[in-house]
Amino acid sequence: MRKNADGTVDLYVGPKAPAGWENSWIETIPGKSFFAYFRLYGPEKPYFERSWKLPDIEEVQTNSGATTGRN
């Protein structure tokens, strides 16, 4: 998975991987819906105190027509 300079991650979701982003791509079946799961490994204190919340996934259209989930 490729990280951005600010530590965020762009995930590309769709039937075809955008060039150069194959390691950050989640394949889907054309015409079918999907459901996103998020798993934490070794959560820290803010998670247990509920002071940290996973941001919503936002749909963003790219120049290639692919969709990226940004948070």
The per-residue pLDDT for range 9-63, each reduced to its tens digit, is 888 888 988 888 899 999 999 988 888 888 888 889 999 999 988 888 888 776 6
Kindly tell me if the per-residue pLDDT of 68 is higher than 50. yes
Q: Which amino acid is it at 19?
A: A
What is the biggest distance separating any 2 CA atoms in the chain, rounded to whole angstroms?
41
**pTM of the predicted model, to two decimals?**
0.58
Neighbours of 57 (CB within 10 A): 14
